[in-house]
Amino acid sequence: MTARVILVIEDDLSIRRGMVAALRHSAYEVREAGDGATGSELALAGGLDLVLLDLVLPLRDGLDVLRRIRREDPVLPVIVVTACGAEDERVRGLELGADDYVVKPFSARELLARVEAVLRRSPDRPQAIRRLQLAAGEVDLDRGEVRLLDGGCEELSKLEVDVLRYLAKSRDRIVSRDELLARVWQQKPHLIATRSVDMTIARLRKKLGGAEALVTIRGKGYRLDL
């Protein structure tokens, strides 16, 4: 089995070394960064299964790194690392889409337990999805285009591309409106009308050439059938 890849973003060298050693001892492949700018780039370079993210970092704040991860890769699992007593940070991190948190000081046992729990809840990471094959044609997600077999070509907005990427990465399950709002729109469901999701899905169906690929499961959400 291929080792899971975890990125540790932590500026305190002694803490980072301890985290890296514990993870490697448990057979994880580990990448590391000591500041938010480097960590942000590594997080978005692909090939990761999980990020351990300190929230107090030089060069780029941890919450800003988390925002960027959620904007560019909504399904990448993130565990935030906070100082004891920093409740506001933990709450803000969870609101921004973190999957869990661990409070300093923590033991290697606690860290590994939280990592394993989040990875169990998360599907295996697929390779970066660049194209989708449909019965009616092909979607080029990098270019934001739908090319239909009848010769038609439709442009996709960034939001529409983000929705398709998320649904494609989650295509073995039904994705609810609330999950799309939290992970793609990055909004709390009660702060934005779910009608926004419905309208985006309706536009996508039209551009994809029909309803066969993008299915609504009444009362539950949406599923991409490819």
Task: For residue 123, give the 3-state DSSP assignment.
Answer: coil
Are 94 and 70 in contact by the 8 Å Cβ rule? The answer is: no
Q: Mind listing the pLDDT tens digit for each residue in 174-207?
A: 888 888 887 777 666 555 556 788 889 999 988 8
Whether the pLDDT of residue 126 is over 60: the answer is no
Amino acid at 196: S
Q: Mind listing the pLDDT tens digit for each residue in 13-54?
A: 999 999 999 999 999 999 999 999 999 999 988 788 999 999
- CATH superfamily of the domain spanning 5-121: Response regulator (3.40.50.2300)
Are 86 and 100 in contact by the 8 Å Cβ rule? The answer is: no
Whether the pLDDT of residue 65 is over 80: the answer is yes
pTM for this prediction: 0.58
Q: Where are the domains of the chain?
A: 5-121, 131-224
Domain spanning 131-224, CATH architecture: Orthogonal Bundle (1.10)
Between 170 and 48, the more confident residue is 48
Structural tokens at position 131: 């194209």
Under DSSP, the state recorded for 175 is: B
Structural tokens at position 81: 């690392």
Is the dihedral angle over the CA atoms 204, 99, 22, 39 positive or is it negative?
Answer: positive
Between 84 and 99, the more confident residue is 99
